[in-house]
């Protein structure tokens, strides 16, 4: 089968011919239909995860399983042997074995999957268009759900703020709008992204420094020092700040440093159950995002395009 290998960090991806994968003990095979290209894939190539090499990247995978039919892959595999995995939070397992990061992923014609529950039936969703939901969509879905309880408490008076209207932020705006009664504000320094945010249903889209008042829930899809500072300034008493962005910013935390009883939390990817819920959600709500397809063999070109910053939607590789 054709596959894409990362053979050396910081080197171009290589198209190779490999023997088809073998389904391990109790494992399963899927024929890959599509695989989204995510920013984490760039970090895999750069060696930031110290992935074992050679590695087949790719964690936004849809495919076909012999018995289940069209499926979406749950890629953040855990050890399935610790209390975190026992409670369904495999994506934050300390002994994680994420597909496409630590074991072979979906930049290939076939893929081996260790457990059937990692394959969520896709129903009649378009397998190419829906591939980015597996990571980008799921990460935003979980992040906005972390805020749901606080927003529901305030009902129609709730105010939510999305920081950063890039790919994940655009999912976040839609999830907040479709699942809560909150007034949704967006802050982004790019006028184009602010315009996009308004198209997606945000009530207000402003530049940094133009925020007004406090917000019950703030989802920071940037995570840099200035965005966290602004979140700490604008979160309401008993409000919540959910940080998703990987810019590595920090902010002082403690009684007196943040508004009384404000919560700050990070949010990572999502659970198997949430992936199933997201697939059901996508059946009943039309989510707006653009997908650009490229052939699997052009994975390296896709990575270069993503690095160039010239991509407005999500790139999906098709077999």
Pick from 4, 55, 75, 85: which binds Zn ion (CB under 5 A)?
A: 85
Residues 214, 159: contact at Cβ < 8 Å? Answer: yes
Helix ranges (H only) for 18-135 are 39-45, 83-86
Any idea which residue has 């300390």 for tokens? 94
Region of 9-17, 70-78, 186-194, 210-218 interacting with Zn ion (CB under 5 A)? 70-78
Burial category of 279 from C-beta neighbours within 10 Å (exposed 0-12, middle 13-18, buried 19 and up)? buried
Q: How far is the CB of 290 from Zn ion (least distance, A)?
A: 17
Helix axes 136-146, 167-179, angle to 10 degrees: 50
- Rule CB under 5 A: is residue 44 a binding residue for Zn ion? no
CB-nearer residue toward Zn ion: 82 or 224: 82
Rounded to 10 degrees, what is the CA torsion of 223, 138, 98, 87?
A: 100
Q: How far is the CB of 32 from Zn ion (least distance, A)?
A: 16
Q: How many residues bind Zn ion (CB under 5 A)?
A: 8
> What is each CA distance from 232 to 206, 235, 240, 251, in whole angstroms?
17, 6, 10, 8
| Kind and range of the H or E run holding 283 | helix 272-284
> What is each CA distance from 268 to 92, 128, 144, 233, 252, in whole angstroms?
7, 24, 11, 23, 21
* 60-65 and 69-73 beta bridge pairing: antiparallel
CB-nearer residue toward Zn ion: 88 or 208: 88
CB-nearer residue toward Zn ion: 99 or 187: 99
- Rule CB under 5 A: is residue 316 a binding residue for Zn ion? no
Pick from 57, 58, 78, 127: which binds Zn ion (CB under 5 A)?
A: 78
Q: How far is the CB of 153 from Zn ion (least distance, A)?
A: 31
| Contact letters for Zn ion, residues 192-231 (x by CB under 5 A) | ----------------------------------------
Region of 72-80, 150-158, 251-259, 286-294 interacting with Zn ion (CB under 5 A)? 72-80
| Contact letters for Zn ion, residues 120-159 (x by CB under 5 A) | ---------------x------------------------
Q: Which residues contact Zn ion by CB under 5 A?
A: 38, 40, 78-79, 82, 85, 93, 135
């Amino acid at each position: 089968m054709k596959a894409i290998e990362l053979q050396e960090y910081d080197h171009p991806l290589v198209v190779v011919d490999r023997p088809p994968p073998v389904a391990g003990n109790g494992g399963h095979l899927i024929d890959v239909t599509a695989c989204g290209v995510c920013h984490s894939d760039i970090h895999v190539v750069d060696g930031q995860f110290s992935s074992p090499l050679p590695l087949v990247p790719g964690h936004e995978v849809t495919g076909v399983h012999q018995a289940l039919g069209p499926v979406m892959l749950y890629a953040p595999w855990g050890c399935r042997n610790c209390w975190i995995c026992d409670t369904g939070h495999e994506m934050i397992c300390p002994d994680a074995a994420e597909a496409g990061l630590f074991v072979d992923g979906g930049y290939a014609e076939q893929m081996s999957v260790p457990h059937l529950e990692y394959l969520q039936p896709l129903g009649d969703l378009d397998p190419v268009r829906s591939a980015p939901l597996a990571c980008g969509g799921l990460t935003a879905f979980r992040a906005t759900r972390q805020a749901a309880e606080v927003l529901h408490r305030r009902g129609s008076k709730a105010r939510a703020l999305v920081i950063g209207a890039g790919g994940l932020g655009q999912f976040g705006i839609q999830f907040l709008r479709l699942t809560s009664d909150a007034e949704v504000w967006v802050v982004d320094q790019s006028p184009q992204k602010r315009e996009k945010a308004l198209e997606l249903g945000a009530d207000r889209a402003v530049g940094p420094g133009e925020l007004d008042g406090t917000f019950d829930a703030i989802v920071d899809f940037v995570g840099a020092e200035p965005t966290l500072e602004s979140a700490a300034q604008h979160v309401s008493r008993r409000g919540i700040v959910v940080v998703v962005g990987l810019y590595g910013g920090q902010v002082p935390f403690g009684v007196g440093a943040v508004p009384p009883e404000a919560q700050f939390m990070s949010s990572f990817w999502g659970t198997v159950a949430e992936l199933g819920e997201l697939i059901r959600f996508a059946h009943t709500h039309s989510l707006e995002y653009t997908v650009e397809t490229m052939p699997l063999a052009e994975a390296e070109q896709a990575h270069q395009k993503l690095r160039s910053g010239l991509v407005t939607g999500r790139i999906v590789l098709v077999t």
